[in-house]
């Protein structure tokens, strides 16, 4: 949905963003590929 991990952590009441990432990062495995593709588009 495009929300930052910090915002999600705050919403869930997690004290640390790492808690959110450790708990839910398996849901976003394809995000690494998406980031890589976007970054590749920045390089001429």
Q: What is the pLDDT of residue 12?
A: 92
Q: What is the pLDDT of residue 44?
A: 65
Helices 17-24 + 5-12 axis angle, to 10: 100
Q: What is the pLDDT of residue 37?
A: 82
Q: What is the pLDDT of residue 38?
A: 82
Q: How confident is the model at residue 15 (pLDDT cuts 50, 70, 90)?
A: very high
Number of Cβ atoms within 10 Å of the Cβ of 3: 8
pTM: 0.55
Rounded (5°) CA angle 8-12-15: 90
Q: What is the pLDDT of residue 28?
A: 73
Per-residue pLDDT averaged across 17-30, rounded?
82
Cα separation, 28 vs 11, in Å, equals: 18
């Amino acid at each position: 949905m495009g929300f930052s991990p910090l915002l999600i952590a705050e919403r869930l009441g997690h004290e640390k963003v790492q808690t959110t990432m450790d708990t839910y990062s398996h849901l976003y495995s394809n995000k690494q590929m998406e980031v890589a593709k976007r970054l590749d588009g920045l390089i001429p």
